[in-house]
Amino acid sequence: MSGPLDGVVVLDLSRVLAGPYATMALADLGARVIKVEQPGIGDETRGWGPPFVGDAGVSTYYLAINRNKESIELDLKSETGRDTLTRLVRHADVLVENFRTGVLDRLGFPVARLHELNPGLVILSISGFGHDGPEGGRPGYDAIMQGESGIMSVTGPPGQPSKMGLSIADILAGLNGVQGVLAALYERTRTGRGQVVRTSLLAAVVGAHAYQGTRWTVAREVPESIGNDHPSIAPYGTFRCKDGVLQLGVANQNLWRRFAVIVGLDPDDERFATIRDRSARRAELTETIEHALAADTRAGWLARFAEAGIPAGAIRTIDEVYEWEQTRSQDLVIEVDHPQLGRIELPGSPLRFDGAVARAHTAPPMLGQHTESVLAWLASLDSPDEAAGAGADAEGGRP
């Protein structure tokens, strides 16, 4: 399949994680993504490690978020580079950037000029704290944002604010950006005009607070970190059994009654009669459950729970996840041919269409790998006047 966004051209001026994650998702959907990188340096994540792999020292961080893209080197501070970017903008459908606020303006490409060059262009702009407000334009990486957005205060053991093991603020911002781009492209089918979609790492995490947010906004209760437990449901979290730990999600009364019978508890015990009762007596409930679970192994309990339809699971390490047959059956592990590393495995797209993956996969590109082919494509699209000007500029230096 070519993918639902086949024919859409995305100009990717972003770097690090939030923007590249968004453009990778668009590429997975079939868009042509042209990644613009600084000559000789490229995206910062090319140098982020360990681990690095292969004789060339390729960063696995970079490999994680740049599949299905083309890379061109472009010096946006040079006249030649800005000319090439101008030509790219004319033929793009989407532009994605996560520069500090004002940088794109200083390079000579404010929004007004971008839309003058291409009225149908959809622009996705991702910032740290937002594009305006008292701290608009303030820089911030994911770890900083996890603290500032409140997510660390509800993560980890009680009294020990903890960062998540994933760059969740960046990833959520990228996904929100994709949602905005798709909506703007759809609206363009009616109006013929593009628009600016703005989001931020702060907005992404605050927007994902969900029930933790309304605990404060409605109930005026400040959520606290409670480890692996759930603030409103019990039993829901990790529990010790004979040979390790398993997870349980007993989230309604029907599940509780089936669960209690399986582990040998009285489902009508008045101490634990309702979800509210069980949450109020969480410590006592956990002790009671773990005493019962000590009678058998994790594998034994998981088999029983699966047969009874009780949500339960193991806690897998990352390597176990990628070797798991279920993961591979969902095309969540893909194989690509890398120019330097040969055949490698990468995480795959989480989406399928009509039961199939959206498109064929290509490896994350080497720096500037597609510069010549992209310039040739531009030349084939340019008007005679544009082509003549581009040829004159090209004599002045590197694109």
Structural domains in the chain, sorted by start? 9-208+330-394 (3.40.50.10540), 236-316 (3.30.1540.10)
Average confidence (pLDDT) over 52-57: 93
Residue 221 pLDDT class (50, 70, 90 cuts): very high
User: Is 386 a residue whose pLDDT tops 60?
Assistant: no
CA angle (88 as vertex; 87, 89 as ends), nearest 5: 90
The whole-angstrom separation of Cα 368 and Cα 385 is 26
Tokens of 202: 């702060």
Is 396 in contact with 79 (CB distance < 8 Å)?
Answer: yes
Q: Which residues of 178-201 are buried (b: 16+ CB within 10 A; e: fewer)?
A: bebbbebbeebeeeeebbbbbbbb
Give the span between the Cα atoms of 263 and 265, in whole angstroms: 6
Q: How far is CA 284 from CA 138, 229, 275, 398, in A?
A: 46, 13, 14, 70
Predicted local distance difference test score (pLDDT) of residue 394 = 32
- Distance from CA of residue 282 to its chain's centroid? 33
Give dist(CA 218, CA 210) in Å, integer. Answer: 12
- In tens, the pLDDT along 115-144 reads 999 999 999 999 999 998 998 888 888 999
Q: Which residues are catalytic?
A: 170
Q: What is the pLDDT of residue 306?
A: 95
Mean residue pLDDT of the chain comes to 92
Contact at 8 Å (CB) between 128 and 202? Answer: yes
Tokens matching residue 150: 């409140």
Q: What would the mean pLDDT of 349-366 be, rounded to a whole number?
A: 81
Query: Is pLDDT above 70 for 360?
Result: no
Distances (CA, A) of 158 to 84, 143, 154, 262, 279: 54, 19, 9, 30, 16
Average pLDDT over residues 62-80: 96
* pTM, full prediction: 0.90
Rounded Cα distance between 379 and 392, Å, is 13
255: which 2 tokens? 């599940």
Report whether pLDDT(268) > 60.
yes
Q: Can you tell me the distance from the alpha carbon of 239 to that of 236, in angstroms, rounded to the nearest whole number?
A: 9
Q: What are phi and psi of 347, to 5 degrees?
A: -60, 145
Residue 388 has a pLDDT of 47
